[in-house]
Structure 1
Amino acid sequence: MVLRVGYVREHFSSPLLQYSADDQDKTFTLVECPSGTGQLIARLTNDEIDVAIALTDPLISGIAKGSQAYKLVGSFVSTPLNWAVITGKDSKFQSISDLRDTTMGISRPGSGSQTMAHIMALQQGWGTDSLQFKVNNDIRGLLDSVNDGSTSAFMWEWFTTKPFVDAGEARFIGSVPTPWPSWLIAAHPTRAKPDELRTFLANLTTYVRKFDSQESRAQDNVEFIKDKFGYPEADIKAWLDTVAYPPDCAAIPSKVITDALSALEKAGVIKSPEDGFVAENFIDQNVTKLV
């Protein structure tokens, strides 16, 4: 079986792209999901992909809400994601505090862009119903919405949106780092065989370790990201200073799951059952382990 691996084409995916380029036996194929984690989860549900490399919070909240479409099988990025808060170039909004009781743009329901808006509201001391949401699908739709006034702002990864801010299409008015490591790996519980997933994760670990090495960070990573994504060298180096990858993609720290569940519940995104959540129920124990 050729694994269908869903991903978002961003700089974070560089080790995956390098693995794909070297995959001579074509053991997996990449399926780009430009709308982000909401789209990745939808494609897992609709049998369009077998594996998803996606944001921690929507993956965990989906399982917490009862989704049977996937289980967690691995880790991908071990540092927080810095979510920028972006508004229109000529909008009236000047800071995060201005966004209370407004309509924010999101890519899809249940996406990271929506989850993190709830986290932002929690941090600001607002109620969980202090924001409304409008679905705008992708980065272009989100940018259009803040400039035509149909939304006040949206949230997206800082360096992914910086080129649009640099070009004068939008403005940063703040940022909200995730209170958890940012990327996990999920897979459908029956479509992909455990041995195929274990092989995929073992090979991905090799590329992640190389990408995360000091030697690669000094030059190779900069050139790869510059070539693939066209980012300025200064932005690439600044991002590399903030990101780290796990030593083993096939292991998931139990603290990632418990910390995310705690923060998501406080933000009103999920509701804990009477006997609480069990971290082991979030993973495919035939593929991965908690550490």
Structure 2
Amino acid sequence: MPLRIGYVREHFSSPLLQFAESDEGRTITLVECPSGTGQLISRLTKDEIDVAIALTDPLISGIANGSKAYKLIGSYVTTPLNWAVVTGKNSKYDKISDLEDTTIGISRLGSGSQTMAYVMGFQQGWSPETMRFQVHNDIRGLINSVNDGRTSAFMWEWFTTKPWLDSGEVRFIGSVPTPWPSWLVAAQSSTNPESLTQFLTALSSHVNAFDSVQSRETKNIEFIRSKFGYKEQDIEAWMNTVGYPQDCLVISKDVVMTTLKTLEKAGVVRSPEGGFAVDDFVELKVAKLI
């Protein structure tokens, strides 16, 4: 039976989409999760998907806050994610500091849009206890909320949001890059380790093909333009910033522990007595921990 792979349909998922279109694609079924990592974690928990390719911080904070439904099995993107801070086209907010004591829009509780809002607040010196959030499910709901005044701003990946900036529907008032590599792979705790290893091995080959110098300069640009409709200059700009792992089975212990340390400072997680143990986060029957 094919593995059910949950993903967000955006430019980062291009190697996965190429995998799905290849002969090996019969071994997987893609399940789109347009609301992002919060929805991916929910579907893992409800046994609606076997694997999630999702943002580092919500995956790690979910386990740190008690979830036993999944563990980390691999890496997907090795570079930070640049989160745009987005407000309405006619709003009164012009810089990040203006957002203190306002209501921030998020896609779901526990999503990357929420955890990164906490990180932004930590960087600004705001107390986590004073931050307020309103759920709007997806980017269309979030855009509507900043333009009708229900929320002051929201955070979303820069290039994914840029078409709405270009159309004049929203404004960017800053950005907050993640202090960690941006995408990891997680799986339900009950999923067969051998199937997961086979999936990640195959994914690695498609990631390496996508990440080659030749592909970056030629077919990647046309693939992303045809799938997502982005402008060529935006695709080239993104390609200059993104990095992928050579082996998707490898997870860095430092990535897990450094992310936890930052999330703890931001008030997203709380360390248990004795501290966090990396084994609680990583499925060692699958991942190669370095």
> Which TM-score tier does this pair reach, normalised by the shorter chain?
over 0.9
Asked if 2 retains the 8 angstrom alpha-carbon contact of 1:74 and 1:252, the reply is yes
Aligned-partner SS, 1:87: strand
Q: Distance in 2 between matches of 1:182 and 1:24?
A: 26
The reply to whether residue 215 of structure 1 matches residue 214 of structure 2 is yes
SS in 1 for 2:268: coil
Partner amino acid for 1:241? N
In structure 1, runs of 5+ residues without a counterpart are none
Cα offsets for 1:147-197 (capped at 9, x unmatched): 00000000000000000010011000000000000000000011x211111
Q: Which amino acid aligns with 1:288?
A: A
Which SS does the other structure have where 1:71 is aligned?
strand
| Offset of residue 258 of structure 1 | 0.7
Structure 1 residue 25, shift from structure 2 partner: 6.2
Match of 2:223 in 1: 224
Query: Is the 1:280–1:290 Cα contact (8 Å) retained in structure 2?
Result: no
Alignment of 1:260-271 (within 5 A): 260-271=259-270
Root-mean-square deviation (CA), in Å?
A: 0.8
Distance (Å, rounded) in 2 between the aligned partners of 1:144 and 1:38: 20
Q: Report if the CA contact (8 A) 1:75-1:251 is conserved.
A: yes
Q: Which amino acid aligns with 1:272?
A: S
* Counterpart position of 1:163: 163
- Partner SS, residue 129 of structure 1: helix
Query: Any idea what SS the aligned residue of 1:26 has?
Result: helix
8 Å contact kept, 1:105–1:151: yes
How far apart are 1:244 and its partner, in Å? 0.2
- Residue 72 of structure 2 contacts residue 184 of structure 2 at CA under 8 Å; is this kept in 1? yes
For residues 188-211 of structure 1, the C-alpha deviation after alignment (integer angstroms, 9 at most, x for no partner) is 011x21111100000000010111
What is aligned with 1:245?
244
Partner of 1:273: 272
Q: CA deviation at 1:24?
A: 4.9
Q: CA deviation at 1:130?
A: 3.2
Query: Aligned residues, how many?
Result: 290
- After TM superposition, the runs of 4+ consecutive aligned structure 1 residues lying more than 4 A away are none
Amino acid paired to 1:44: L
- Residues in 2 aligned to 1:165 and 1:117: alpha-carbon distance in whole angstroms: 20
The gaps in structure 2 that reach 5 residues or longer are none
Cα shift readout 1:96-125 (whole Å, capped 9, x = no counterpart): 000000001000000000000000000011
TM-score, normalised to structure 2, is: 0.99
Aligned to 2:69: 69
Q: CA deviation at 1:137?
A: 0.1
Aligned to 1:9: 9
Q: Which stretch shows the higher mean deviation, 279-288 or 160-169? A: 279-288
Q: What one-letter code is carried by the residue in structure 1 that aligns with 2:189?
A: P
CA distance in 2, matches of 1:247, 1:22: 19
Q: 1:44-100: CA deviations, max 9, x gaps?
A: 001110000000000000000110110000000000000000000000000000000
Decide whether the 8 Å contact of 1:102 with 1:130 is kept in 2: no
Quote the residue 2:148 is aligned against: 148
Deviation at residue 2 of structure 1 after TM alignment: 1.2
Q: CA deviation at 1:129?
A: 2.3
Q: TM-score, normalised by structure 1?
A: 0.98
* SS class of match (1:6): strand
Give the structure 2 partner of residue 118 of structure 1: 118
Q: CA deviation at 1:23?
A: 3.6
**Letter of the structure 2 residue corresponding to residue 247 of structure 1:** Q
Query: Does the CA contact (< 8 Å) of 1:121 and 1:130 recur in 2?
Result: no
| Rounded Cα–Cα distance in structure 2 between residues aligned with 1:254 and 1:220 | 34
Q: Output the CA distance in 1 between the equivalents of 2:125 and 2:213.
A: 40
2:21 paired with 1:21 = yes
Inter-partner Cα distance in structure 2 for 1:121 and 1:130: 10
Partner of 2:50: 50
SS of aligned partner of 1:175: strand
